[in-house]
Amino acid sequence: MGEDLKSRRAVIAGVGAGGLTLALAACGGSDTTTAAPESSAPAASSAPSSGAPAGNGGLTTTSEIPVGGGKIFADQKVVVVQPAEGQFKAFSVRCTHQGCPVDKVENGTIVCPCHGSKFKIEDGSVANGPATDPLPEQQITVSGDQISLA
Instruction: Check binding of 115 to ligand FES (CB under 6 A).
Output: yes
CA quadruple 144, 49, 53, 147: dihedral, nearest 10: -20
d(CA 100, CA 115): 9
* Site for ligand FES contains 43 (CB under 6 A): no
Min CB(113)–ligand FES separation in Å:
7
Count other C-beta atoms under 10 Å from residue 136's C-beta: 13
Residues 95-114 that bind ligand FES (CB under 6 A): 95, 97-100, 112, 114
Closer CB to ligand FES, residue 77 or residue 97?
Answer: 97
Question: Quick one: 80 or 102, whose CB is closer to ligand FES?
Answer: 102
Rounded to whole angstroms, what are the CA distances from 30 to 24, 25, 41, 82?
A: 10, 9, 25, 49
Which residues of the chain form contacts with ligand FES (CB under 6 A)? 95, 97-100, 112, 114-117, 130-131
